Structure 1
């Protein structure tokens, strides 16, 4: 296990408490006593929110923050249609999938209609972590192999299995022996392809074999990459080795990239399986695993699956409302239009600290570099906190913690984009002094 906690450089640390007001210090102390040391808080000055609306969050004092970070409320904080759907179903019944209920079938059919025809079945969970855990379980059953491949700074979940698929969470030296790490395509797509080839050979040599390659199709923890054809040859390598290509759409899915509903569409591939989560219920716990018929049919013939809270009527009501809002408010097109404008405006800033700007739709990674063009984690940290001081929420990402991560709710507007770019320009200038 690594001695250095891994993760974004924007976390609150105990030494930051000195400048906080007495109430905030007391709440942090109570939180630490009750919840332990594994939890983290964002920002040198943590912020407490009491309500949200659309792309905005509000403190108890009425301060308004622009949310340019949270992709869980994908159709906006406290969307009235989602809230109404939750309340209406909660007043009727909320039970599990061992009883018949048309809503869960309706949702499953509707979700499958957004996916390629080759993807024929869906299994519902509560979280993306559970979905990826289930994907690994199914892949091992179907292929007879146990090995997995992920990128070097990936994040795929918090269960005991998916933590080993998440070197950004546990550290590269803490993953299990059945996992192989490969370079991400953010810096060198060719190294990614060659790394997968070598990892397959390594798993075969160890007598483990490849069950699945897990890929976050926007490579969010690796520093954000949404472009390129590098996934096509990798899919071929994985299938030739008898493994499954699993597209983790927890970050990229539900229209975020402004190119259809799913991130893998931008790469011109059809995965063997897909996992999804966070944005599906706009904050309600619903996620899932979808795959080709043969994959799930084979698994289902040998094993059974049940999840007490996966696919309950209340969660499904929220998820149906999310799909309604995405369609009716044309949020995929909004992500494409506003996102393109946002990316162009950031690239146009006269700022030597801004290196590469990568992304699509409403998911962007902005590299912060020093005078020599090297990753500058300290400056990125100052910028994240400076944006918080200007009441705009972002975070940092990437293996060197120097990539600003921007992924706002999908209703992000022209005015929101203008506010973001102005705040970023002011913050960049302030960090030079």
Structure 2
């Protein structure tokens, strides 16, 4: 009961995957619009081949020297700012964020953490403690955790009509940090997904991270950028989502997972020499049995090869822009679509009951996802109101796929609106006493 399935009313049994498609036990083909773990496509043959070939030769731990781990670290370093040059390899995004927390605390000598509201950083106990998305349903907020407003310009306190939302949201961080310091608390880190995903596919205003970094570094803290859901070219314009914030911003620690291994359990933490040296002085050796294994690093190298050879970062820009335009056209047609936001193949469609109040259309979003599944399209929702349709497909997702999804979305929304109008017509007839009997025979209830 603690494991929630997709589509609990009619679960799907998936037995095979290829590219952007998944296949059930009957052979039906589903278009995967949310499979961001299979970053370059489900069961990509080059990634599968790399794992198979290395498995035939050696798979042991990193206490022995091996070229793969060095080669992989080198390749990753070429995608990051120069100062992020030390790499720790792990098995999952949760492990990566847990290590980032340890690094930050050791480097700063502080304990407390500042996080965005509605954030999710992993399933370990240490990370549930810094994930408002989780801890509000469990033991509540720890005294060493400080929550700042999500920099959401559609639903947050500072919206698209604010003259400078980046400054306004960053000032909230400064205020929270100052308040904590007045109570004798010391901040170790500010944690943020570069593009908050579980919170509703959010794009922080440009410049926000730079300003926040100034505030938290003045407090002796480090900035941790969680790229687990959005790194590796998904945003198209850049390899890393934090780069959307401008050239003057560089995190102190970057965490990676999910897409890094295309389904194989690989994760990584990148940081500076200063942070890593402080960690080394503890005398507590860091070792991860399977982290950085020859097979894991071979897989990681293969994923980078595919991204480059198939030009998937450029592809994400082109297809993502095309999909965004199609969705914006639907926004003009269907009032239930309150906002379309995103970059590359990271896109959110915010569904609302009312355009003015922006009340989340939670039930409607759930119904829409269910109807899309009947059309063999796999999509899901996120956000505090579970009303934001999230697009995070494999990077091979095509323009034809985009057109197909939006056409079905349009058809279902049109059907929903026609049904609603019919129900309203019937309600009016019944309320006025005109033609109730005849109307009841023709109109849906």
Q: TM-score of the superposition, structure 1-length normalised?
A: 0.89
Aligned to 1:138, the other structure's residue is in SS state helix
State the distance in 2 between where 1:71 and 1:242 align: 34
Q: Which of 331, 334, 342 is the aligned partner of 2:315?
A: 334
**1:364 alignment partner in structure 2:** 347
State the distance in 2 between where 1:430 and 1:371 align: 18
Q: Which of 215, 223, 236 is the aligned partner of 1:245?
A: 223
Aligned to 2:354, the other structure's residue is in SS state coil
1:273-422 equivalences under 5 Å are 273-302=253-282, 303-349=284-330, 350-372=333-355, 373-422=358-407
**1:140 alignment partner in structure 2:** 105
1:122-271 equivalences under 5 Å are 122-171=87-136, 174-186=140-152, 187=156, 188=158, 189=165, 192-226=169-203, 227-268=205-246, 269-271=249-251
Q: Which of 395, 411, 425 is the aligned partner of 1:426?
A: 411
State the distance in 2 between where 1:359 and 1:132 align: 24
Q: Structure 1 residue 206: deviation in Å? A: 3.1
- Does residue 40 of structure 1 match 2:19? no
State the distance in 1 between where 2:415 and 2:94 align: 39
Query: Does the aligned pair in 2 maintain the 1:69–1:406 contact within 8 Å?
Result: yes
State the distance in 1 between where 2:334 and 2:55 align: 50
State the distance in 2 between where 1:42 and 1:362 align: 21
Aligned to 1:252, the other structure's residue is in SS state coil
Q: Which of 58, 71, 74 is the aligned partner of 2:23?
A: 58
CA RMSD of aligned residues (A): 1.3
Aligned to 1:75, the other structure's residue is in SS state coil
Write out per-residue CA displacement over residues 247-284 of structure 1, whole angstroms, 9 at most, x where no aligned residue. 00001100000022100000112111100000000000
State the distance in 2 between where 1:116 and 1:177 align: 34
Q: TM-score of the superposition, structure 2-length normalised?
A: 0.87
Single out whichever of 201-210 and 290-299 deviates more from structure 2. Answer: 201-210
Name stretches of at least 5 consecutive residues in structure 2 with no aligned partner. Answer: 159-164, 420-445
1:92-107 equivalences under 5 Å are 92-107=57-72
Query: Does the aligned pair in 2 maintain the 1:246–1:275 contact within 8 Å?
Result: yes
Aligned to 1:174, the other structure's residue is in SS state coil
Single out whichever of 305-314 and 227-236 deviates more from structure 2. Answer: 227-236
Paired positions, count: 397
State the distance in 1 between where 2:60 and 2:185 align: 40
State the distance in 2 between where 1:311 and 1:422 align: 43
Q: Structure 1 residue 191: deviation in Å? A: 5.0
Name stretches of at least 5 consecutive residues in structure 1 with no aligned partner. Answer: 1-36
Single out whichever of 155-164 and 383-392 deviates more from structure 2. Answer: 383-392
State which structure, 1 or 2, has the greater radius of gyration over its C-alpha atoms: 2
Write out per-residue CA displacement over residues 371-425 of structure 1, whole angstroms, 9 at most, x where no aligned residue. 3442111111111111111111111111111111110000111111111111211
Write out per-residue CA displacement over residues 177-232 of structure 1, whole angstroms, 9 at most, x where no aligned residue. 21111110113345532321122123323323110011101111221223522111
Aligned to 1:258, the other structure's residue is in SS state coil
